[in-house]
Structure 1
Amino acid sequence: MATARRGKTKAEEGAAPAEPELRILKKYPNRRLYDTKTSSYITLADVKKMVLDGQAFEVRDAKTAEDLTRAILLQIILEEETGGVPMFTTQSLEQIIRFYGHAMQGVMGEYLEKNMQTFSEMQKKFVDQSPGLAFSPETWAKFMGTQSPMMQGLMGGMGGMGGYVEQGKNLLEQMTEQMQKAFPGMPGMPGFPPKK
């Protein structure tokens, strides 16, 4: 049975978009995860899919209601790192461990988070502006292979945090140039035209 469509009321038109519903997962002592939305037990693979789909969720201890979301996300990362192709080298993991307890721990976390956010935004813009190109893992590997020295330079030198924004801007400009070399005819990113 089809539902009749109605026009939006003025109140609905002026309303801000609804926040995505927070999905609550409960973790039981037997290590099982229970999705309160679907009233069913789920696996870490299901939680990983929620992350990939951008679904907002929290994992809470079924007895204490303690927030266990970070622990579950770390567990997913551990599974990804031990199976298949790891993202982190032994050296990069050692460097991350060295920052724990160091005065720069908080700064390093923020630095990594901003770089990941910048990279995600850059990737989305690249995909949005090049709808005709197929983005297989091999395509990204080819592109990122040209970026390795730049990425290492950006991630390797903490230097002064005052230059962070400038470093990020320079990185995006360099990456845009490299993308245009790897994929001729691709338009530049808004705000980051290729240097002439």
Structure 2
Amino acid sequence: MQNQNAAAPAPTQRVIKKYPNRRLYDTRTSAYITLAEVKQLVMRGEPFVVRDAKSGDDLTRSILLQIILEAEAGGAPMFSEAALANIIRFYGHAMQGFMGSYIEKNVQAFTDMQAKLAEQSQNLTPEMWPQFMNGQSPLMQGMLGNYVEQSRGLFQQMQEQMQKQAAQMLGAFGLKR
């Protein structure tokens, strides 16, 4: 007898094959799909992987970067030239690993805050909207405060990791603080 409280099985990861002609083939639907359709998978939060049809190599990152590149070229870029230049400067830098983690955690914190904001805004009356949108509501101040505090915590963790690495490097040279 099956347990009625058992959770539904997690959705299986969708496999998309990329062929040399740059076409993408969705193995779940047995159809070719566009980059725009892959973007929709991302937007819906569907798990997927893109594999090279011949070698089986994982190409998911390069496809995601291609989606970002198209979005950035599409007229309303998210990143300024200065921001992109700063990101490029971190490649090959000792802080590369920390920066990726820091950005990822901050984006996740912002996404969480946005979801809470959307959830909480459903309960607002029309009279409450102006106060809410001006950031004066306790709810908005609380969420922004939490985001700033979380970001500060992430930055502090990054600094502590840098200090540990510096101490290890100095120790390797026989120097102590």
When normalised by structure 1's length, the TM-score is 0.64
Aligned to 2:158: 161
CA distance in 2, matches of 1:65, 1:56: 17
Quick check: 1:16 aligned with 2:15? Answer: no
Aligned to 1:64: 55
| Cα drift, residue 16 of structure 1 | 3.3
| Cα drift, residue 10 of structure 1 | 5.3
Structure 1 residues 89-104: aligned runs within 5 Å = 89-104=80-95
1:161-193 CA distance string (max 9 Å, x none): 258xxxxxxxxxxxxxxxxxxxxxxxxxxxxxx
Aligned to 1:193: none
1:33-58 CA distance string (max 9 Å, x none): 00000100000000000000011000
Quick check: 1:30 aligned with 2:21? Answer: yes
CA RMSD of aligned residues (A): 3.1
CA distance in 2, matches of 1:115, 1:46: 27
| Cα drift, residue 114 of structure 1 | 0.2
Do the aligned partners of residues 132 and 74 (structure 1) sit closer, same or farther apart at CA in structure 2, a change above 3 Å counting? Answer: same
| Cα drift, residue 11 of structure 1 | 1.0
Aligned to 1:177: none
Aligned to 1:178: none
Structure 2 residues without counterparts, runs of 5 or longer: 125-132, 136-143, 161-177
Amino acid at match of 1:114: K
Please state whether the residue corresponding to 1:101 is helix, strand or coil: coil
Amino acid at match of 1:11: N
Structure 1 residues 86-165: aligned runs within 5 Å = 86-132=77-123, 161=158
Match of 2:38 among 33, 39, 47: 47
Structure 1 residues without counterparts, runs of 5 or longer: 1-8, 134-141, 164-196
Out of 30-39 and 17-26, give the one that drifted further. Answer: 17-26
Please state whether the residue corresponding to 1:11 is helix, strand or coil: coil
Please state whether the residue corresponding to 2:51 is helix, strand or coil: strand
Please state whether the residue corresponding to 2:25 is helix, strand or coil: strand
Do the aligned partners of residues 82 and 143 (structure 1) sit closer, same or farther apart at CA in structure 2, a change above 3 Å counting? Answer: farther
Q: How many residues align?
A: 143
Do the aligned partners of residues 143 and 118 (structure 1) sit closer, same or farther apart at CA in structure 2, a change above 3 Å counting? Answer: farther
